[in-house]
């Protein structure tokens, strides 16, 4: 009896060890989307009054957790009863990620007028600030929903064919890491300049270590956000390319002589540019919105 109990404990320990290993692999696979998620939410959580940044970020974090609570059961049901749908969702999601990466490159290279006008928060009333805040939170949660779907699907794609309990444990761990990790880092980023201002204000000397570090943090914030955006764009294309290479036979044997990372990037960029051209072509035939 005792030996059976210890054998059960040994099986559970082996399962959890396997879960931890696969969770690490799945997290690496989703790193590209996590990088983009980090860049997007760092941008969306900035631009508020200092005392509203953390409450706004907390609202987005709760929305992100709710997104994953909705997505996870649906993904597990599809995995159990229609595993082909996971592969299809993975490919469709790869097209979206490739398109998003290609669009960011296009917008960087080709001059264009911004679709949204940046408004100075100091010129808005308290009621207008609340409305603007709610809109930005909703936008961030919607973007997070799309990225969360990709994170869950990619994580699930690494454990397809394994027992459903194993899938649930691995993907749930990745989802938790994605939420806590991303928004924890975003919280540090958006408060970086405030911490810098405090260091500067604490120093009475014109030249001091605290003032130097404070000024560095203040100046570094926009650079960090821009850098995350660039890294996130490259990662999006790499992740998308990896999806096509591993799930589409044509791309699986495409440019085999090249290193894996370079091949993934080229494949992702080709698909992204193709998707961008299709979207641009379709937009030509859509009715344009009248400017108010």
Q: What is the pLDDT of residues 30-72, one digit of tens each?
A: 665 666 666 666 666 665 666 677 788 888 888 888 998 998 8
Cα(178)–Cα(40) distance, integer angstroms: 14
Q: pLDDT-derived band of residue 125, with 50, 70 and 90 as boundaries?
A: low
Q: Residues, the chain, total?
A: 292
Are 106 and 29 spatial neighbours (Cβ–Cβ below 8 Å)? no
Residue 10 domain boundaries: 2-190+237-284
Q: How confident is the model at residue 123 (pLDDT cuts 50, 70, 90)?
A: low
The residue assigned the tokens 């989307």 is: 33
Is residue 229 included in any domain, yes or no? no
122 lies in some domain: yes
Please check whether residue 208 lies inside any domain of the structure: no
User: What's the domain count of the chain?
Assistant: 1
User: Is 216 domain-assigned?
Assistant: no
Query: Residue 4 above 50 pLDDT?
Result: no
Task: Band the pLDDT of 8: cuts 50, 70, 90.
Answer: very low
Q: Based on the number of CB atoms within 10 Å of its own CB, is 69 exposed (0-12), middle (13-18) or buried (19 or more)?
A: exposed
Structure tokens at 81: 């009863």
Q: What is the pLDDT of residues 205-240, one digit of tens each?
A: 777 778 888 888 888 877 887 787 787 788 778 878
**What DSSP designation does 121 have?**
G
Which residue pairs, CB below 8 angstroms and at least 24 apart, start in 71-79? 71/145, 71/148, 71/149, 71/152, 72/152, 72/171, 72/172, 72/175, 75/152, 75/153, 75/156, 75/171, 76/156, 76/164, 76/167, 76/168, 76/171, 79/156, 79/160, 79/164, 79/167
| pLDDT for residue 26 | 60
Domain-embedded: residue 158? yes
Assigned domain for 140 exists:
yes
Cα 219-179-158 angle, rounded to 5 deg = 120
Average pLDDT over residues 84-108: 85
| Residue 205 domain-assigned (yes or no) | no
Residue at 203 is within a domain: no
């Amino acid at each position: 009896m005792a030996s059976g109990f210890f054998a059960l404990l040994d099986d559970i320990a082996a399962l959890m060890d396997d879960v931890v290993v696969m969770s690490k692999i799945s997290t690496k696979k989703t790193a590209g989307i996590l990088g983009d998620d980090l860049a997007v939410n760092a941008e969306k959580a900035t631009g508020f009054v200092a005392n509203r940044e953390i409450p706004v970020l907390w609202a987005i974090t709760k929305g992100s957790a709710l997104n994953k609570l909705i997505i996870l059961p649906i993904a597990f049901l599809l995995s159990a009863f229609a595993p082909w749908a996971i592969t299809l969702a993975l490919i469709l999601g790869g097209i979206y990620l490739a398109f998003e990466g290609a669009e960011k490159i296009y917008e960087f290279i080709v001059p264009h007028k911004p679709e949204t006008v940046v408004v100075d928060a100091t010129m808005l009333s308290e009621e207008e600030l609340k409305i603007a805040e709610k809109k930005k939170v909703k936008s961030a949660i919607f973007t997070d929903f799309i990225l969360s779907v990709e994170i869950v699907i990619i994580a699930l794609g690494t454990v397809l064919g394994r027992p459903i309990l194993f899938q649930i444990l691995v993907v749930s761990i990745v989802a938790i890491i994605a939420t806590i990790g991303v928004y924890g880092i975003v919280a540090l980023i958006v408060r970086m300049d405030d911490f810098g201002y405090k260091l500067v204000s604490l120093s009475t000397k014109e030249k001091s270590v605290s003032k130097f570090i404070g000024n560095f943090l203040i100046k570094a914030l926009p650079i960090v956000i821009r850098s995350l955006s660039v890294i996130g764009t490259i990662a999006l294309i790499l992740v998308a390319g990896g999806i096509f290479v591993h799930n589409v036979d044509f791309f699986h044997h495409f440019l085999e002589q090249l290193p894996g990372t370079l091949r993934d990037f080229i494949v992702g960029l080709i698909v992204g540019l193709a998707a961008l051209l299709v979207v641009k072509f379709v937009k030509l035939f859509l009715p344009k919105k009248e400017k108010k």
